[in-house]
Amino acid sequence: MRKIAWFVISITLALFVLVNADVACAVKQDPPVAPDFNLKDLKGNNITLSSYKGKVLVLNFWATWCAPCRAEIPDFIEVYDEYKNKGLEILGVSVDEISADQVQKFVERNRMNYPVAMATSDLFRNYPPPQGIPTTLIIDRNGKIQYKKVGMMSKQELIDLFNRFTQ
């Protein structure tokens, strides 16, 4: 009976670590071309991947209820302020199940200075729903997915990745 209990505890602990671990990976060799998308931001503006051509896009899947998502927002705001004129763009994609108006209130309260759109089923056809949130993709100036991270991004990580993929 003790062996079974330890086995269950070990498996539970291993699953907990896996679920809560940050997972980051640079795409190797020939990075895939990011599929185009057509979204409306919370202000009603059309947003497409092709509108970001020539810029580095940070595509961030997040939710208002997600503590790590909320924790990374101030860093995203700072980096966007500092690097927007150098070719960095950030697009927050909310996976919330609340209304766009409620997400907009959250965006305003948190002074998010980058565009935010609601995730759609069309988007998830080309970009599978994230395994966890936050999930961030870095799409280079040529529209290729260069990097993916499941977990919180720091200000320094964003800056380093931007610098790496603007070369």
- Residue 13: pLDDT band with limits 50, 70, 90: very low
- Listing DSSP states for 104-163 in one string gives HHHHHHTT--S-EEE--HHHHHHSPPPSSSSEEEEE-TTSBEEEEEES---HHHHHHHHH
Helix (H) or strand (E) holding 92: strand 88-94
The reply to whether 25 belongs to the active site is: no
What average pLDDT score do residues 35-56 get?
96
pTM: 0.83
Which residue of the set 56, 66, 117, 118 is catalytic?
66
Residue predicted with more confidence, 11 or 108: 108
Q: Is the CB of residue 56 less than 8 Å from the CB of residue 86?
A: no
Domains of the chain: 22-165 (3.40.30.10)
Cβ contacts of residue 16 below 8 Å, gap of 6+?
Answer: none
pLDDT tens per residue, range 74-104:
999 999 999 999 999 999 999 999 999 999 9
